[in-house]
Amino acid sequence: MTMSLRQMTPSLGAEITGVDVANLDNQDFDAIYESFNRHSVVVIRDQNITPEQHADFSRRFGKLMVHVLKDDLLEGQPEIYRLSNKVENGVPQGRPNAGQYWHSDLTYEKVPSKGSVMYAMEVPDAGGDTLFAHTAASYEALSEPMKAFLSDKTAIHDFRHAYDTFSKRIPGTMPISEEVFAARPPVEHPVIRTHPETGRQCLFVNPGFTVRIKELSYDESDAILAYLYGHMIKPQFFYRHNWRANDLVLWDNRSLMHCAVGDYGPDQTRHMHRTTIMDGDAA
């Protein structure tokens, strides 16, 4: 097979065809990695991989993280987090309604994530898309005074925030125990981070996990974050991925936030596996 690449939008996104990630030579992997850094979202079509192959491919990008929601991990393959509304013999096959709010994966960790790799096994007939917003392009479009204002600011990120603010309001969302929340106390990260491989500066706040900007009053923080969140999802910074079965999608959590669209009914199955890569270059 010969690998080909098609850019999806001017800001972000590339589609790659003609590769088998389970049997990938170093040259083709290097091209995928370069596209990952350049385009932030990489869609690799028509993959037929096992969970082991999924994890092995993901490890080529770096060390894998284990999600704090242990009940939703794949048995025997704990690096794989199951996002699914599928039920077999009365047993949920993953976490339903996951990520239906703007967020960047695992920013509530002390060492945040480099990227995520999600594999679609079953998708709705229509709907269930994932939206991506480019936080480097949106930073670059800010005025110079706003960039200067944000340059020394710190944000507090909290795993509980997404559940309390978004998830528990969605019917069918499974509860999360206090023990899980206690295992992930709030952390602090700079509001502006420099991407360690591209050198681009990126907004590093998101509605899901960012509680507030530490140096500001609560009212000031709410106002600034509301402005930034609206700015970050302008159409020119945006890509909407319509999933097909056997899509493997990589995205860069250092330069993106994303949102799953919950517009499909309970009669439609959305069954995905995701790995998350640790950012070894994080401070």
257-282 average pLDDT score = 92
* pLDDT tens per residue across span 59-72: 999 999 999 999 99
Q: Quick check: is 138 in a domain?
A: yes
| 169 pLDDT tier (thresholds 50, 70, 90) | confident
From 28, 5, 36, select the one nearest 254 (Cα to Cα). Answer: 36
Sorted by sequence, the CB contacts under 8 Å of residue 109 that are 6+ apart come out as 65, 184, 187
Residue 78 has pLDDT above 80, yes or no: yes
Distance, in Å, from the CA atom of 270 to the CA atom of 99, rounded to the nearest integer, reads 13
Total domain count, the chain: 1
Q: How many helices (H) and strands (E) does the chain have?
A: 7, 18
| 2 pLDDT tier (thresholds 50, 70, 90) | confident
Distance, in Å, from the CA atom of 275 to the CA atom of 265, rounded to the nearest integer, reads 26
Residue 227, domain CATH: 3.60.130.10
H or E, element range at 5: strand 4-7
88-100 average pLDDT score = 92
Percent of residues, the chain, with pLDDT higher than 90:
92
* pLDDT tens per residue across span 186-214: 999 999 999 999 999 999 999 999 999 99
* pLDDT tens per residue across span 242-268: 999 999 999 999 999 999 999 999 899
* pLDDT tens per residue across span 111-143: 999 999 999 999 999 999 999 999 999 999 999
Structure tokens at 171: 């019917």
164-168 average pLDDT score = 89
Residues belonging to the active site: 103, 105, 258, 274
Q: Quick check: is 20 in a domain?
A: yes
Q: Are 91 and 204 in contact (CB under 8 A)?
A: no
46-53 average pLDDT score = 97
Q: Quick check: is 283 in a domain?
A: no
CA angle, residues 187, 104, 38, in degrees to nearest 5: 125
Distance, in Å, from the CA atom of 270 to the CA atom of 121, rounded to the nearest integer, reads 8
Distance, in Å, from the CA atom of 119 to the CA atom of 44, rounded to the nearest integer, reads 10
Q: Quick check: is 165 in a domain?
A: yes
What's the mean pLDDT when you consider all of the chain?
95
Range of the domain at 220: 4-278
Q: Quick check: is 142 in a domain?
A: yes
Taking only Cα atoms into account, the Rg of the chain, rounded to an integer number of angstroms, comes to 18
Q: Quick check: is 19 in a domain?
A: yes
Distance, in Å, from the CA atom of 27 to the CA atom of 253, rounded to the nearest integer, reads 24
Amino acid in position 236: Q
| 234 pLDDT tier (thresholds 50, 70, 90) | very high
Task: Return the exposure string of 125-137: e unless at least 16 CB atoms fall within 10 Å of the residue's CB, then b.
Answer: eeebbbebbbbbb
pLDDT at 182: 92
| 281 pLDDT tier (thresholds 50, 70, 90) | low
What are the residues facing 122 on neighbouring strands? 271
From 33, 137, 97, select the one nearest 260 (Cα to Cα). Answer: 97
Tell the residue number behind the tokens 């083709």, with chain if given: 28
Q: In 3-state terms, what secondary structure has residue 103?
A: strand
Residue 1 has pLDDT above 80, yes or no: no
- Taking the model in full, what pTM does it have? 0.95
Residue 280 has pLDDT above 90, yes or no: no
| 283 pLDDT tier (thresholds 50, 70, 90) | very low
